[in-house]
Chains A and B, each alone.
Chain A
Amino acid sequence: QKEVEQDPGPLSVPEGAIVSLNCTYSNSAFQYFMWYRQYSRKGPELLMYTYSSGNKEDGRFTAQVDKSSKYISLFIRDSQPSDSATYLCAMRRGSTLGRLYFGRGTQLTVWP
């Protein structure tokens, strides 16, 4: 079993839809949780960063972490064609050693 599981999709939605992306994990030592956006053939771009459980909102993006269920989510409101990309979840332990564990990414297409 991989430490981080993420459905690769693809996911295709119309412009304006609410998108829900999620990951599950098995290691209870993970304390920092991230979402990265990666456009085709580019490097990942940090979107959201949360510590421990709870919600965090930034514009149209909301990240949720449920450590009791080992489940994290990213919601995108009013989705735009420019949101079309691969979304990677990532997480790491609480020590200063910064190894990130990634899901395989979910490919999202928002069509006009």
Chain B
Amino acid sequence: DAGVTQSPTHLIKTRGQQVTLRCSPKSGHDTVSWYQQALGQGPQFIFQYYEEEERQRGNFPDRFSGHQFPNYSSELNVNALLLGDSALYLCASSLEITAGNEQFFGPGTRLTVL
């Protein structure tokens, strides 16, 4: 049973550029959440997608946007990159119908902005 997968593993961009990160949820899961983890910090919630719609958002600017596809996979887009966007970007998947909605994380995409 494949777990959550993310691509690419690493990415280096320069300030002002745009980036797209991808996530495939665990088999059978229908909800995808994205988190940003700066070095030495806990993950911070960016947003969550369910039924192809963003239904909850954390305290991140509009430069951060996303999409969920009919097969439940998801993309995170970041425009006008800043040095402070350098972080590990984590995708987590869960199944909406389960009472606990346990979230399982992928390995992350490490983004470096120069």
Residues on A lying within 8 angstroms of B by beta carbon are 4, 6, 8, 32, 34, 36, 41-46, 49, 51, 88, 90, 92, 96-105
Contact = CB atoms under 8 A, between A and B. Distances in A.
Contacts of A44: 43, 90, 105
Nearest to B45: A99
Interface residues of B, number: 30
B42 A104 contact: yes
B22 interface: no
Given A100-B45, A104-B41, A43 B90 contact: yes
15 contacts: A8-B40, A34-B102, A36-B105, A42-B108, A43-B6, A46-B104, A49-B102, A98-B31, A98-B94, A99-B56, A100-B103, A102-B42, A102-B44, A104-B40, A104-B41
B33 A98 contact: yes
B48 A97 contact: yes
Nearest to B10: A41
Interface in B82-114: 88, 90, 92, 94, 96, 100-108, 110
Between A44, A101, A105, the greatest number of chain B beta carbons within 10 A of the residue's beta carbon is seen for A44
